[in-house]
Structure 1
Amino acid sequence: MKIANIIFLVMIYASVSFAQDTRRSDIPVHDPVMIKEGDTYYLFCTGPGIAVWSSPDMKAWKREAAVFPDPPTWATSVAADFRNHIWAPDITLHNGEYYLYYSVSAFAKNTSAIGLAKNKTLNPESPDYNWEDQGVVIQSVPGRDLWNAIDPNLVFDEEGTPWLNYGSFWNGMKLVKLGDDLKTVQNGPDDWHTISRRERSFELDDRNPGDGAVEAPFIFKKDGYYYLFVSFDYCCRGVNSTYKMVVGRSKDVKGPYLDRDGKSMFEGGGTLVLEGNENWHGVGHNSAYTFDGTDYLIFHGYDANDNGRSKLLIREMEWDSEGWPIVSLEE
């Protein structure tokens, strides 16, 4: 009986521990994006096959199955050593379908491509749940391109035209017009734009990302403006991370995006939104949404109290009298 009781208690403890582990609020994420379907919030982020979490309240999170249990069939033709660790997704509901953009890349190279998958629902219990990969949207190639095809974000302008903004290092953030299928890149003279960049300390080299550290663009529409958030400096270094978020805005989705002082983000401008402090070594790669009338900034930070591990951070976003975002890092 004693052995049976011990086994029973161990099983109960393991069950409780697992529940706590999969429903904790400080979940380990990079590059989070969020969407709400019905009464459930879904979080997509960098991870094996694209990591997915669900929550009823943005506080208690449950780990769901990855989008891609096996790598996309085309991925190794882009990055030969790809192992299904997929970066920086972006999720949008359009005309009754969910469009999930994602990044396949080799680290610190612009050997990269942005892919697209579609689903009718995000609820894994639904009989309609099925991710269908649509293949490559856009690809960058070393020796050819001065940009990096990662960190996608979809936005629609006031006429309903879809635009994809993306990029990391090199010659900055790009904005390209898409066709009605939200996949086909348009190649007219007014269909490609550089919307944010930083100067590098040496001559541009299409095989070297350089030190113009800017990435993770996300455009949020508010009160007649398009707000372009980007992350400056360096992620992914644990306690040595220096990530921070800046913003500019424009009346035109194509820009120019100006910061509070009127400096163009094309010239390295950007008004500081949040940077690290004694509790968070760096914060960045944000997305922004309005849920039930409240604006939120969703991002990750490197926890100074947990050896610099990356954690999910969700903060309400307010606006000052001149229409600039106000976000506090502390809760």
Structure 2
Amino acid sequence: MFQTLKRLQRLAAGCALAAALPLAQAAPWTLTGAIGTHDPHLYKTSSTWWLFETTDNGGIGVKYSSNGTAWTQGLPIFPGGLAWWKTYLPTNKTAMVWAPGCGEYNGLGYCYYAISSFGSQKSAIGLATSAGGIASGQWVDQGAILTSKSGDGYNAIDPAFVVAANGDPYMVFGSFWNGIHITRVSKVNLKPPTGGIVNIAKDTANGIENGFIVRKGSYYYLFVSKGACCQGANSTYRIAVGRSTSITGPYADKAGVSMMSGGGTLLASSGSRFKGPGGQSLLADGSVMAWHAYDAQNNGAPVLFMGNVTWGSDGWPQAVW
């Protein structure tokens, strides 16, 4: 999460890389343009594909595409950063905006995002809203809606939005400290109430973060990144999944192992060239996944990957590569 967006773009320039992955279950799409990214959050409106991404040089990173394959770097949200972000950063540290989760709900554009620094539990999830939806670009910051400090039972980063079958909206979040959590949020202002946080996945042996839930059929599927990110070609990230009939769990993998006990069915792991796949997100119907992986032949640059998700007759998503 810690290389600047400019560096990501420079290292990834000219890389239309999507066909070269080994042991592909389903070939990722061939992507062009601005494909240097970290923690890509995928969302699609009627005419535009959007990606919101981690940056460490101020603002919330944005990309857009008319077809989902040719990507253009857009203007960041809050490009100069916000004054309150400094509360959650070391002295003189440039704002690190991590793993934003953005989209539209009942016509309102929303963008959850995290402010933190590496290895710290002093973190905050902020919320920006846009009355005109994503495309209007008229974002208004709503401040910190969830925070954490050393000793808390969770880390307030990696937010993602999901709507339950009954219409109630939720936010998934968490990283390492007791893993992945979920909380219901208000239908009016999309902020969580006090309390009501449920722990839904842990992996103390490997680490776990980037929780993302998709509702499909009678199940909720929890996608996670396990292992270590942000180390270029030495990253050990991999993508795993479990499911539950309830949005608040319990979640278990295909073998029945609880995700509170380290469970998770593997969907993507390192290949010979591209290492540490993770930071995943999906369209709400589970049809397409976006993720990043590190290019071992290009100084470990994080690169955007996207591909169709195949769902088996058993109801489980198949390996993406």
**TM-score after normalising by structure 2:** 0.85
Q: CA deviation at 1:313?
A: 0.3
The whole-number CA distance in structure 1 between the counterparts of 2:229 and 2:14 is: 28
| Secondary structure, aligned partner of 2:87 | helix
Name 1:71's counterpart in structure 2: 81
Query: How many pairs does the alignment contain?
Result: 291
Counterpart residue type for residue 157 of structure 1 = A
Give 1:122 shift.
Answer: 2.8
Query: Aligned match of 2:201 in 187, 192, 196?
Result: 196
Alignment of 1:275-294 (within 5 A): 275-289=269-283
**Identity across the alignment (%):** 37
Which stretches in structure 2 are left out of the alignment for 5+ residues? 1-12, 16-30
Partner residue, 1:301: 293
Residue in structure 1 matched with residue 261 of structure 2 by the alignment: 267
Deviation per CA, 1:104-161, whole angstroms, max 9, x where unpaired?
A: 00211011000000112333xxxx431100101100011x313110000111112211
CA distance in 1, matches of 2:318, 2:34: 22
Residue 322 in structure 1 maps to residue 292 in structure 2: no
**TM-score, normalised with respect to structure 1:** 0.83
Map of 1:149 onto structure 2: 156
Query: How far 1:322 sits from its partner (Å)?
Result: 0.7
CA–CA distance in structure 2, aligned partners of residues 235 and 106 of structure 1: 14
User: Relative contact order: is structure 1 or structure 2 higher (C-alpha 8 Å, sep ≥ 6)?
Assistant: 2
1:102 aligns with 2:94: no
Contact 1:165-1:174 within 8 A present in 2 as well: yes
- Assess if the C-alpha contact under 8 Å between 1:162 and 1:182 holds in 2: no
Residue type at the aligned position of 2:231: R
Q: How much does 1:290 deviate?
A: 5.1
Which segments of 5 or more consecutive residues in structure 1 lack a partner in the other structure? 1-18, 201-211
Give the one of 194, 211, 218 matched to 2:212.
218
Cα contact 2:103–2:134 (8 A) shared by 1 = no
Superposed, 1:205-244 pairs within 5 Å as: 212-244=206-238
Q: Contact 1:137–1:183 (CA<8 Å) still a contact in 2?
A: no
5 Å-filtered alignment, 1:126-145, equals 128-142=136-150, 144-145=151-152
8 Å Cα contact 2:266-2:319 kept in structure 1: no
Structure 1 residues 219 and 100: CA distance shift in structure 2, 3 A: same
Report matched runs for 1:44-193 at 5 Å. Answer: 44-47=52-55, 48=57, 49-81=59-91, 82-119=93-130, 120-123=132-135, 128-142=136-150, 144-188=151-195, 191-193=196-198
